[in-house]
Chains A and B, each alone.
Chain A
Amino acid sequence: MSASRYDAIIVGGGHNGLVTAAYLAMAGKKVLVLEKRHVLGGAAVTEEINPGFKYSVCSYVVSLLRPEIIRDLELPKHGLQILPLESTFTPLPNGDYLARWGDHDQTRREIYRHSPRDADAYDDFGKLMYQLAVAVKPILAMVPPDPTSMSPKDLMGFLRLGKHFRGLGHEQFHALHKLMTMSSADYLDEWFETEALKATMSSSGIIGTFLGPRSPGTAYVLLHHYMGEIDGAMRAWGFAKGGTGSVSESIASAARGHGAEIMTEAGVAEVTVKNGRTTGVVLDDGREYSSSVVVSGLDPKRTFLDLVDAKELPGDFVRDIERFKIRGSSGKVNLSLSELPNFTAKPGVGPLHKGAVSISPSIDYLERAYDEAKYGDFSSRPYMDIIMPSMIDAGMAPPGKHVMSIFVQYAPSDLRGGWNETKREAFGDAVVDTLAQYAPNLPDAILHRQVLTPWDIDRDMGLTDGNIFHGELSLHQLFCMRPTVGYADYTTPLRGYYQAGSGTHPGGGITGASGRLAALEILKGALR
Chain B
Amino acid sequence: MLRTTPFHSRIAPLNLAQNWRRWSGYLAASAYEFHHDREYWAIRNSAALIDVSPLFKYSIEGPDAERLLDRVVTRDVTKCKLHQVFYTPWCDDDGKVMDDGTLTRLTPDSFRLTSAEPNLRWLHDNALGMDVSIRDISDDLAALALQGPNARRILHDAAKGAADELRFFRLAKGEIAGVPVEITRTGYTGDLGYEIWTEPANAEALWDGLMESGESHRILPAGMLALDVARVEAGLVLIGVDYVPAHQAVIEGRKSSPYELGLGWTVKLDGAWFVGRDALRAEKERGPEWEFRGLDVSWDSLEVLYGKVGLPPQLPSEGWRTSVPIYSGDTQVGYATSGCWSPLLKKYIALAHIQSRYAKIGTDLRMEVTVEHYRKKAVARVVDTQFFNPERKRNNPEPSAAVKAEASA
Q: Which of B37, B38, B346 has the most CB of A within 10 A?
A: B346
Choose among B33, B35, B346 the residue that contacts A232 (Cβ–Cβ < 8 A): B346
Complex Cα–Cα for A103 and B312 (A): 22
Given contacts A83-B45, A134-B311, A231-B312, are A399 and B216 in contact (CB under 8 A)? Answer: yes
Chain A residues with Cβ below 8 Å from B299 are: 67-68, 71, 232
Interface: B388 (CB within 8 A): yes
Chain A residues with Cβ below 8 Å from B44 are: 81
Complex Cα–Cα for A211 and B317 (A): 38
Quick check: B408 and A52 within 8 Å, CB to CB? yes
Complex Cα–Cα for A393 and B45 (A): 7
**A414-427 vs B: 1/0 string, CB under 8 Å?**
00000000000000
Complex Cα–Cα for A262 and B34 (A): 45
Interface: B46 (CB within 8 A): yes
**B63-89 vs A: 1/0 string, CB under 8 Å?**
000000000000000000000000000
Query: What distance in Å separates the Cβ of A286 from its nearest Cβ neighbour in chain B?
Result: 40
Given contacts A67-B346, A81-B344, A84-B41, are A399 and B35 in contact (CB under 8 A)? Answer: no
Quick check: A71 and B345 within 8 Å, CB to CB? yes
Chain B residues with Cβ below 8 Å from A241 are: 45
Interface: A305 (CB within 8 A): no
Quick check: B345 and A134 within 8 Å, CB to CB? no
Interface size on A, residues (CB 8 A): 31
Complex Cα–Cα for A137 and B299 (A): 15
Q: Which of A52, A70, A241, A394 has the most CB of B within 10 A?
A: A394
Query: What distance in Å separates the Cβ of A109 from its nearest Cβ neighbour in chain B?
Result: 14
Interface: A398 (CB within 8 A): yes
Please give me the residue from chain B that is nearest to A233 by CB atom.
B346
Number of A-B contacts defined by CB within 8 Å = 65
Interface: B329 (CB within 8 A): no
Interface: A234 (CB within 8 A): yes
Chain B residues with Cβ below 8 Å from A68 are: 299
Interface: A314 (CB within 8 A): no
Choose among B150, B313, B345 the residue that contacts A76 (Cβ–Cβ < 8 A): B345
Interface: A447 (CB within 8 A): no
Quick check: A398 and B408 within 8 Å, CB to CB? yes
Interface: A315 (CB within 8 A): no
Quick check: B35 and A394 within 8 Å, CB to CB? no
Query: What distance in Å separates the Cβ of A354 from its nearest Cβ neighbour in chain B?
Result: 9
Q: Which of B38, B217, B313 has the most CB of A within 10 A?
A: B38
Complex Cα–Cα for A154 and B399 (A): 61
Complex Cα–Cα for A67 and B303 (A): 13
Chain B residues with Cβ below 8 Å from A393 are: 45-46
Complex Cα–Cα for A102 and B343 (A): 16
Choose among A52, A76, A231, A235 the residue that contacts B388 (Cβ–Cβ < 8 A): A76
**A133-154 vs B: 1/0 string, CB under 8 Å?**
0100100000000000000000
Residues from 150 to 172 in B contacting A, C-beta threshold 8 Å: 150
Complex Cα–Cα for A417 and B256 (A): 78
Given contacts A71-B299, A103-B35, A393-B45, are A234 and B150 in contact (CB under 8 A)? Answer: no
User: CB within 8 Å of B: which residues of A?
Assistant: 51-52, 67-68, 70-71, 76-77, 81, 83-84, 86, 102-103, 134, 137, 167, 230-235, 241, 391-394, 398-400
Lowest 5 A-B CB distances belong to which pairs?
Answer: A230-B312, A67-B346, A399-B216, A398-B409, A70-B346
Pull 26 A–B residue pairs with CB atoms less than 8 Å apart, ordered by A: A52-B409, A68-B299, A71-B345, A76-B344, A76-B345, A77-B388, A81-B44, A81-B45, A84-B41, A86-B38, A102-B38, A103-B34, A134-B311, A137-B312, A231-B312, A232-B299, A232-B346, A234-B317, A241-B45, A393-B46, A394-B150, A398-B408, A399-B216, A399-B217, A400-B216, A400-B409
